[in-house]
């Protein structure tokens, strides 16, 4: 994660609490299954979009806030 004062504050408020309460066993199983299955599933959703952002981490909404907001707005409002 790109660390600035702002991203650190958001991490502490948005990300860290989830890590503390997460069921890590479930997450590991889910990630393995989801990651392996996502691309074949996309063919069943013709309006779906699969976006890969170079350098993206699991905290995209914090460290690449502008890109995240742009993509999320396009999703919400079908721009």
pLDDT at 33: 65
Low-confidence ranges of the chain (pLDDT < 70): 1-2, 31-37, 79
pLDDT for residue 75: 87
- Which residue from 40, 58, 61 is spatially nearest to 50, judged by alpha carbons? 40
- Indicate whether this model's pTM tops 0.85: no
The predicted pLDDT at position 40 comes to 82
Domain count, the chain: 1
**What residue numbers bound the domain in which 43 lies?**
5-77
The whole-number pLDDT of residue 34 equals 62
Measured distance CA(17)–CA(45) in Å, rounded: 33
């Amino acid at each position: 994660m790109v660390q600035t004062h702002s991203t650190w504050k958001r991490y502490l408020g948005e990300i860290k609490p989830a890590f503390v309460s997460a069921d890590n066993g479930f997450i590991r199983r889910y990630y393995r299954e989801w990651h392996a299955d996502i691309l074949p599933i996309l063919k069943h959703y013709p309006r779906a979009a699969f976006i890969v952002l170079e350098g993206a981490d699991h905290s995209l909404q914090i460290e690449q806030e502008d890109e995240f907001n742009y993509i999320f707005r396009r999703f919400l409002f079908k721009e």
